[in-house]
Amino acid sequence: MIKAYVFDLDGVIYRGWELQETAAETLAELERRGAAIFAYTNNAMRTRRSYVDKLNKLGITQFHVDKVMTSAYATALYLKEKGSVGKSVYMIAGDGLYEELTAVGMKVYRGTEGEEVPVDYVIVGADKDFNYGKLARAQHGILGGAEFIATNTDPTYPLENGTLNPGGGSLVAAVKTASGTEPYVIGKPYTYAFEKILSIAGAAPDEAMMVGDRLDTDIAVANRAGAYSGLVLTGVTTLEEAEAATGELVPTKILRRLSDLLD
């Protein structure tokens, strides 16, 4: 019996500003059946609040802010648990990460204005205003001894018209190359944030299902945590790729559309 469903957002509930065809009816029916419904996105560009606002604008009301996990929020939780509150960060990512980090009391630097200062952490995710100067500051921070953290390593994310844009992983790869250093990764497929969701839900791993469109993040995190997984074919993965998956990439269920979850 599945007590908690954890939905990825991009490619699952929506593509850009376009709601996926059966998302609204599927969520409403799962809610009616009494399931706990969570969202978990690797995308660190927005705050949890702004994801709730976006979902509400699309007519989706099942996700309360306490039921939304992002790699940005998970990064802030991780630093807080590590006792790093008050330490300094140079970040390359969107406002979502900036707001989550400042909310827990981190001292956050971003952009290329002002003097370059030594920092304790360099944190990298997707950033629509990425540039050479930011890359250089991240590199200098890490070479100067800062710990390198990646919010996520997704190479791409899908848009409305079926095209792909560069994800956080593309920028993380640039910083990795420039610094010669491997990051500690917070988001999926690493289990840190997923396990936080299970504890909020009061669900054991085998009472939870992760529903996503990407094998190497959504499906892998479920398998690593011992949870069920549903791969929906409305995002970045094709049926051929899903059927050819091996090891930790094998989904429990392949869903042609989200409403196949209700069967």
Residues near Mg ion (CB under 5 A) are 8, 10-11, 213
Burial 158-195 (b: 16+ CB within 10 A, else e): beeeeeeebbbbebbbbbbebbeeebebbbbbbbbbbe
Minimum distance from residue 170 beta carbon to Mg ion (Å) = 15
HSE (side-chain half, CA atoms, 13 Å) at 259? 8
Cβ-contact 216, 222 below 8 angstroms: no
- The tokens 């993965």 sit on which residue? 237
Q: Which is nearer to Mg ion, 84 or 237 (CB)?
A: 237
Joined together, the tokens standing for residue 214 give: 């990407």
Minimum distance from residue 230 beta carbon to Mg ion (Å) = 12
Minimum distance from residue 51 beta carbon to Mg ion (Å) = 13
Q: Which is nearer to Mg ion, 67 or 137 (CB)?
A: 67
φ/ψ of residue 239, rounded to 5: -60, -40
Q: Which is nearer to Mg ion, 127 or 213 (CB)?
A: 213
Q: Which is nearer to Mg ion, 160 or 206 (CB)?
A: 160
Minimum distance from residue 217 beta carbon to Mg ion (Å) = 7
Joined together, the tokens standing for residue 215 give: 């094998």
Could you list the active site residues?
8, 10
The span from the CA of 227 to the CA of 2, in Å, is 10
